[in-house]
Structure formats: C-alpha cells, structure tokens
Amino acid sequence: MQTRSLLGGAVIGSLLGVAAFSEPALIQTPAVSVKEPANRQSGVIRGQVFAAEGERPLVRARVTLYSTGRRGDPVTRTVRTDSRGEYEIRSLEEGEYILRASRNGYLSRSYSREKPSQSGRRRRSLPLSLAPGQVLDGIDFPLIQGGVVEGTVVDPYNEPRSRVSVTLSEYRSYGGERELVPAGHAKTDDRGRFRLFDIRPGSYYLSAVPRPLDDREEEADRSFPPVYYPGVLNPREAAKVEVAAGEEVGGFYFTLIEVRSYGISGRVLTPEGRPAHSVWIRSRRESDEFLVSGMEPSVDTDRQGEFKVKGLLPGRHRLTARSEGDEDLRMANAVVEVTDQDIEGLTLVLAAGAEITGRIVTDREEADLDWRRISLYMESIGSAWRYAGGGSSRVEEDFTFRIANLPEATYRFVVRLPPRGNHYVESIRIRTKELTDRPIEVRSGDRLDGVEIHVSSEGAQFSGVVEKEEGPEVAQAATVLVFAADSEYRGPHSRFTRRARTDQRGQFTLKGLVPAQYLVCAFTDHEYGLESNLDYLSSLERDAERIDLSQGQRLKKTLVALPAPIVY
C-alpha cells in the first residue's frame, strides 16, 4: 500500500533540531563506473567541483567524506581537487557516506540531487550507499557564491553608531516552536556601516541591537531594543529581505529607537548565608523570539554580593546566577515581572544543582552496544531552562553515567543510541518507579541514584524504496518520517519519532524502532524539526500510512514522496 496524498494547505508549525548537512546542494544522479579499483573490495568515489555559474573548475577545493564506518567507528576523509577541479577518494569500505565540498569565496554544500534553491527552502544531503568494490563516478559539486547584505545604523540623532550587532535571521523549527535563528552576523564600523557576506539564497529578517549600556555610561535608564527592518520593534511586523546567489543587497538604513528601561538589583548569598562575590548573573526576557540573541544583559556581583542588572524592557525576565570555582557549580534563579519601575531588594541563594546517576542495562553482552556513541541528556520541559547549559552526560565504559549540576526544573530523559545498531530504549526506571516518556521534576540538591535505562537489541526495522509521485522513478534524498499513531507519544525528542533519507537508489532503512503502531509519510522537501510540532503531525494523520511493528520485526514497503505541507 502506498501513501497517496497529504494536506496541501498551510500549516503553522515549528523545526531540531539541526541536522549537520542542511544546505542545498545539487546534482546529477551518480553513475556507477565501469572501472574497477585495484582492490575489488575497496570502493572509490570521484567527481568534480566547479562554479555553478559558468561551470569553471575550482582548483584546491576541499571535499570531505563522512561515515560511521562498518563497525560503527566514525570515518572522516578530506581531499583537494586538482587543476581540473577533479577529486578521488579511494580505499573505501562498504557503507553509507555523506560528501561535502567547500572553497574560499563559495558556499560549502553537501552532495544532493537538487539544484541550488532560490526559494530559501533548504535541501538535505543525499547519502551515498557504496557496495564492496563499487566505484561511484559523477559525484559533482557546483558551488555558488553567497549573497551580501549592506547598510548603515544611526542613533536617534542621526549620528552613525559603531559596534552595533546586526543579525540576519530566518525562521526555523526547534522543539516544536518556530524561532528566529541567526544566519549571519556583523558589527557596524566607526561609520555605522555593516556588511554581512556568504549569505545563502533565501528570505531573511534583518535586525540591529547595540551593546548593553554599562555603569560608566550616562542615561543608564534608557535602552535600545532590537530594531527590525524597516524600523519596527515587533519581528512579526518586519519586512523580509530576499537574498539571491551572489547578489549584493544594500541601502538598508536603521535608526535605533531609544526607550525607557529598568533595572533589577539585589544580592546573592552562598548556601551558608554569606555574600557571594564574582557570581555571574544573566537576565533573559522570556518573550524574546530569537533562539540566540547574544545580547542578554549580564553582570557580576561585587564583594558584598550585590548586583544591578540594567537595560531591561517591560516583560517577564528570568534571572540566572551561576558560581563556578574550585567547588561544584552553584546556581539560583528567579522569574521577575518588570513593569514600569525598577525592582530592588531581590535575594538569590545559591544551591547545588540536582544530580542523577545510573547505568545502561542491556539484554545482550555489553560489547554488542558501543558505549562511546551513546548520548544521554535531560531535556527541560517548558521555557524555564530552555537556554541554560548542563544536563548532559557521557556514558562510561562500564555503562554507568552521572548527570551533575542540573538546574531546578522539570525534565525528561533523552537517550540517543548508536545509529547503526538495532537497539532501542525499552524502559527507564528508578527502583519500582517508571520514568519512561514521563516528566521528572527535580529540585536543587536532589540526588537520584540507581536509575536504570534498559536497552533492547531487538528493535523493529522498517525499510523500502521511495518513488516519485509523477512516476515509477525513485526519489533521491527524500525524507521518510515515522511517528507514533498515539498522539500521547509525540513531541520533541520522542523515541517514537524517527526520520531517514533515501540514498541514490531511493532506498531507506530505519533500525531500532520501538515496537508500536506508527504513521508513515514520505516527503520530497521536509523541513527538519517540524516532526516535533504536534499540530504539524496531526495534519498528516488522515493521509499517512499506518503500520504495526513488533519486537524484532522487519517490514519493507514502497512509499510515494509528496511535497511537504507549506509552513508559515
């Protein structure tokens, strides 16, 4: 049974996570050469790197190959093109590879079947499957030049403003929400001018924000919030900036807007009640639309443990205090609503973060699971600690782990297993308490010992071929999306949501699937990260194909790739 249709209307959604190779990249279908390598079990990949405009060969361009290797060991190889722009990578084992080309003056790109896009929609790299002794010819890279955006920033008195941060951003989906994510950054010079270069073709939003005022400056109760082109404070009212390949777009003129700002002052105490000096305090306005703005006000406490954070606009702010020294990390946080006056007398008491220890338990010999390639971290639920660091752990050789200095918040466990295996997380528990797919509320100083993460080696496997909608031709670099039929098990980092890309033969394989009932879709242009958005997944339910997977089952199907729903 094939997937027939999907909603074609507009869907409001959001983007993950970001895969490592998200840039557009073109090309012809790779051909299998009739030539044989010297060693019949040793594969070869070769091709050419050239300028997309004029097809001029690019000398000394870098071509890098990435692979997990047959035994799960990471493999990276880099070569340079010769005087004809040609390259060759020899002595390759059987496996799946990703290739990426780069050269000074051009935008780097991963190998794919797509031509350079002017629409701004990012294309995914095409994995290349290499059989023993196979030679892949024609793996070519036409590189394009990036665009340039130029302009000037002045203050309210029409005087040039130096050292202003100018950011070119685009909307992406992260954790189920749409965020403005920086795609280019520059600072103005002494003439107030800025120049952003190596910009990929697409639609962007341009903003300018000066550095925060410090104690030595007058008018510390005045602030300059981010201004979005053509001169608005709300990013939803901003105009798009269109950038084409190699295009220089200029004439952008920003006038900073000065507004009344406020401060929060108080003191930070140690757990013993003494003044805590040299503690770093950061304030973040929780309504900010930037994923990373880099301009959050921050200060250090003085020797009396006192502080004052200035330049805050009205709204909900989260103050975070972090003290790092010879001892373990200590932290404190508070949520403050800033209205129309300064806030004084706030007291923050440092405390140790929570700690979680445990062990990975397998149903086979531990040697069957590569402990070096297991990642484990705590994902915060809600925005409270969304931008805070910490919460991750490496797994030791004996499969134990320790997560230290967790800020006080509500979390869920996220476990990433080696992609080449057929393992899946079967359960997470501490003694008799089940923690799998459930929120965990931790407080400062909590100690959760004896957590057991049970991993099964009998995951389900789903594989097959994806064809184009218009005919029996295979769809290369298409995305196969698999998500839980039960909406309760959807969301950011769900262990029931998986995706895979088809290779040059239109084939895909997903291993280590949790036994469950799933819905399956195939897209020609899926935006990575949207699989975390509940509304987006709900819009796919009616036309997605339903499959049931049991433990150890292997299922093969042919799917049809359709355009992904439009996301605004």
* pLDDT confidence of residue 187: 95
* pLDDT confidence of residue 235: 85
Percent of the chain with pLDDT over 70: 83
Residue 5 has pLDDT above 60, yes or no: no
Q: Are strands 392-394 and 280-285 parallel, antiparallel or unpaired?
A: unpaired
Averaged pLDDT score across all residues of the chain: 83
Residue 86 has pLDDT above 90, yes or no: yes
Average pLDDT over residues 289-295: 48
What single DSSP character describes residue 160?
B
Task: Tell me which residue of 558, 522, 501, 469 sits closest to 113, measured CA to CA.
Answer: 501
Collapsing DSSP to helix, strand or coil, 373 comes out as: helix
Residue 4 has pLDDT above 90, yes or no: no
Over residues 233-268, the pLDDT tens digits come to 888 889 999 999 889 999 999 899 888 889 999 999
pLDDT tier at 218, thresholds 50, 70, 90: very low
* pLDDT confidence of residue 68: 60
* pLDDT confidence of residue 395: 92
Residue 226 has pLDDT above 70, yes or no: yes
Q: Which two tokens stand for residue 347?
A: 């007291």
Write out the DSSP string of 124-153.
PP--EEE-TT-EEE---EEE-PPEEEEEEE
- The Cα–Cα gap between 447 and 504 comes to 49
* pLDDT confidence of residue 122: 55
Provide the β-strand partners of residue 31.
Answer: 137
Please give the residue that has the higher pLDDT: either 12 or 371: 371
pLDDT tier at 316, thresholds 50, 70, 90: confident
CATH of region 147-259: 2.60.40.1120
Q: Is 215 exposed, middle or buried (0-12, 13-18, 19+ CB in 10 A)?
A: exposed
pLDDT tier at 178, thresholds 50, 70, 90: confident
* pLDDT confidence of residue 279: 92
| Torsion from C-alpha of 363, 369, 372, 373, nearest 10 degrees | -100
pLDDT tier at 17, thresholds 50, 70, 90: very low
Q: Give the phi and the psi of residue 114 in degrees, each rounded to 5.
A: -85, 150
pLDDT tier at 295, thresholds 50, 70, 90: low
Please give the residue that has the higher pLDDT: either 313 or 35: 313
Report how far Cα 348 is from the mean position of its chain's Cα atoms: 32
Residue with tokens 């295996």, as numbered in its chain? 421
- The Cα–Cα gap between 358 and 425 comes to 14
Average pLDDT over residues 266-289: 85
Average pLDDT over residues 308-314: 87
| Cα separation values, 218 from 213, 214, 258, 260, Å | 9, 9, 13, 13
Over residues 384-430, the pLDDT tens digits come to 445 444 577 889 999 999 998 888 888 889 999 987 789 999 999 99
Is residue 109 within 8 Å of residue 142, measured between CB atoms?
Answer: no
pTM of the model: 0.74
Collapsing DSSP to helix, strand or coil, 237 comes out as: helix
Residue 341 has pLDDT above 50, yes or no: yes
Is residue 285 within 8 Å of residue 317, measured between CB atoms?
Answer: yes
Residue 292 has pLDDT above 50, yes or no: no
* pLDDT confidence of residue 10: 35
Report how far Cα 437 is from the mean position of its chain's Cα atoms: 22
What CATH number does domain 354-456 carry, 3.10.20.30, 3.30.200.20, 2.160.10.10, 2.60.40.10?
Answer: 2.60.40.10
* pLDDT confidence of residue 222: 73
Is residue 279 within 8 Å of residue 301, measured between CB atoms?
Answer: yes
What CATH number does domain 31-143 carry, 3.30.390.50, 2.60.40.10, 3.30.413.10, 3.10.20.30?
Answer: 2.60.40.10
Collapsing DSSP to helix, strand or coil, 371 comes out as: helix
Over residues 137-150, the pLDDT tens digits come to 999 999 999 999 99
| Cα separation values, 226 from 151, 208, 233, Å | 16, 6, 6
Residue 276 has pLDDT above 70, yes or no: yes
State the CB neighbour count (10 A cutoff) for residue 372.
Answer: 12
Over residues 32-82, the pLDDT tens digits come to 444 444 455 789 999 999 998 888 999 999 999 998 654 455 678 999 999
Q: Are strands 147-154 and 75-80 parallel, antiparallel or unpaired?
A: unpaired
Is residue 430 within 8 Å of residue 450, measured between CB atoms?
Answer: yes
Is residue 275 within 8 Å of residue 307, measured between CB atoms?
Answer: no
* pLDDT confidence of residue 330: 85
- The Cα–Cα gap between 8 and 11 comes to 9
> Yes or no: is domain 262-351 CATH 2.60.40.10?
yes
460-567, CATH topology level: Immunoglobulin-like (2.60.40)
- AA identity, residue 288: D
What residues contact 557, with CB distance under 8 A and at least 6 apart? 1, 462, 464, 520, 545, 547
Average pLDDT over residues 95-106: 92
Domain regions of the chain by residue span: 31-143, 147-259, 262-351, 354-456, 460-567
- The Cα–Cα gap between 519 and 483 comes to 5
* pLDDT confidence of residue 327: 54
For the chain, what is the total number of helices (H) and then of strands (E)? 1, 46
pLDDT tier at 488, thresholds 50, 70, 90: very high
Q: Which two tokens stand for residue 561?
A: 């790739």
Task: Tell me which residue of 195, 206, 205, 109 sits closest to 148, measured CA to CA.
Answer: 195
Q: Which of 16-25, 173-182, 286-295 has the lowest mean pLDDT?
A: 16-25
Q: Is the peptide bond between 230 and the residue preceding it cis, with omega within 30 degrees of 0?
A: yes
- AA identity, residue 378: M
Is residue 243 within 8 Å of residue 202, measured between CB atoms?
Answer: yes
Q: Identical fold at 31-143 and 354-456?
A: yes
Q: Which of 31-45, 363-377, 452-466 has the lowest mean pLDDT?
A: 31-45
- The Cα–Cα gap between 182 and 364 comes to 45
Over residues 495-549, the pLDDT tens digits come to 999 999 999 999 999 999 999 999 999 998 888 888 988 888 999 998 899 999 9
Task: Tell me which residue of 271, 205, 311 sits closest to 444, measured CA to CA.
Answer: 271
**Radius of gyration for the chain, computed over Cα atoms and rounded to the nearest angstrom:** 26
Over residues 188-216, the pLDDT tens digits come to 999 999 999 999 998 999 999 887 654 44
